Amino acid sequence: MAGSTSGGGGALSAQAVAALGEGIGLVFGRWTALQMAVENQWGGRDSRAKADQLAESILSWFANSKGKHYYEDLVDMMYDTVSESFNADFEDGSVEEVAEQLLIMHEECLQSNYSSVEKLRNSRAQGNAVSQSRKMVVDGDDDSSDDEDDDDDGEPSMMDNEAGSAEKMAVDEPKPSKPVPDADGWTTVPPRRGRGKN
């Protein structure tokens, strides 16, 4: 979306305000970064209330402000609230995506077109955004090796522990057989594993 894109400044009907409020709630329910902040209580015990307050503030901004609604203003308001309420900076581009989606939804509601809200309502995801992202991480193929671990603390992460225990359970390594002396009484010792490999 262009940097100076703006939404119309017309008044929303009561039905449009209700639909827009529902749409904001549905979008926020799918916003993984926000849901992680709420679930992990980045904003303290009242993290859910802070997320709800952000939704109410945005709805109020759309419903009560006169004139055009600018993309940059919405993004700035969302960044400021996330920073202040959750002590976090969402640098994944999701704030911009959500702001764009909300502006489009607002434009549609001004024209009594609730198709975006209907689409969100009908495609309601099973579970919440955080559980969906966890499912993708667990179900996805992870081709990275333990050597590529980004943790600098030297301790294995939870994923490393889960992957390691799953590998140990799935593959039973053959136990080396004991050396047996030959007819002359000599015992052949097998080479050490991994010797000379770096």
pLDDT of residue 172: 52
Question: Could you report the per-residue pLDDT of 104-158, keeping only the tens digit for each?
Answer: 999 999 999 999 999 998 886 544 455 445 444 444 454 544 444 444 555 544 4
Evaluate the CA torsion angle 142, 147, 150, 153 in order and state its sign: positive
> How far is residue 5's CA from residue 1's CA, in Å, rounded to a whole number?
7
pLDDT of residue 8: 53
Tell me the whole-structure pTM to 2 decimals: 0.60
Tell me which DSSP letter residue 196 carries.
T
Give the CA angle between residues 171, 152, 45 to the nearest 5°. 95
Tell me which DSSP letter residue 90 carries.
-
Six token digits for residue 137 = 């991480």
For the chain, give the number of residues: 198
pLDDT of residue 140: 47
The parts of the chain modelled with pLDDT lower than 50 are 1-5, 126-128, 131-132, 134-140, 142, 144-151, 156-170
Six token digits for residue 146 = 């333990």
Beta-carbon contacts of 50 under 8 Å, excluding residues fewer than 6 positions away, are 38, 43, 85, 86
Six token digits for residue 82 = 């996330």
Six token digits for residue 125 = 């995801």
